[in-house]
């Protein structure tokens, strides 16, 4: 009976390098696109500015502005604005903040505007918790890719 043997095989792999350590591209065209894309890395908005923007949106919506007017001003979709408002009010319910709010929560936008003073109080409580200005930050720019 013949015994099994351990063998080693080396394989040479050719790939295109775009400069990113973890990338191995099969074609030069794809590597070039990746390289060009890495020249314009995404620039993220600072955390305080993002939180301040959410406070600004929530405050303006409660004061009566429409999602459409805010989306044109800030260059954000209506859906994102709704998420901002929902997040601010969700955070306001956190027990750590000790804010007096209606325990039922989840009311319509019209009902939220009806109780404007109470909701502006909740928004200012979240702003203090996040350490941002109570009026929020109306950053009208975009955090889209910018040349580095």
* One domain, residues 31 and 73: no
- Residue 113 is assigned to a structural domain of this protein: yes
Q: How many domains does the chain have?
A: 2
pLDDT digits (tens, 9 = 90+) for 55-104: 999 999 999 999 999 999 988 899 999 999 999 999 988 888 888 766 55
- Residue 56 is assigned to a structural domain of this protein: yes
Pick from 1-5, 35-39, 49-53, 76-80: least confident: 35-39
Domain that holds residue 19: 9-43
Region 95-121 average pLDDT: 78
- Residue 2 is assigned to a structural domain of this protein: no
- Residue 138 is assigned to a structural domain of this protein: no
Cα gap 89→66, rounded to integer Å: 17
* One domain, residues 17 and 60: no
* One domain, residues 71 and 124: yes
What HEC string does 62-127 produce? HHCCCHHHHHHHHCCCHHHHHHHHHHHHHHHCCHHHCCCCCCCCCCCHHHHHHCHHHHHHHHHHHH
* One domain, residues 35 and 56: no
Cα gap 48→133, rounded to integer Å: 10
* One domain, residues 92 and 24: no
Asked if residue 141 has pLDDT above 60, the reply is no
* One domain, residues 67 and 28: no
């Amino acid at each position: 009976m013949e015994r099994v043997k351990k063998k080693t095989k080396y394989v040479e792999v050719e790939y295109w390098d775009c400069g990113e350590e973890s990338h191995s591209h099969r074609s030069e065209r794809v590597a070039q696109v990746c390289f060009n894309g890495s020249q314009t890395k995404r620039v993220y908005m600072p955390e305080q500015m993002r939180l301040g923007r959410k406070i600004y949106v929530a405050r303006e919506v409660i004061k009566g502005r429409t999602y459409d007017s805010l989306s044109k001003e800030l260059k954000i979709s209506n859906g994102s604005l709704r998420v901002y408002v929902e997040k601010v009010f969700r955070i306001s319910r956190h027990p750590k903040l000790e804010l007096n709010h209606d325990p039922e929560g989840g009311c319509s936008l019209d009902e939220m505007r009806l109780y404007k003073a109470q909701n502006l109080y909740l928004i200012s409580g979240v702003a203090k918790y996040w350490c941002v200005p109570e009026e929020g930050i109306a950053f009208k720019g975009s955090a889209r890719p910018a040349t580095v």
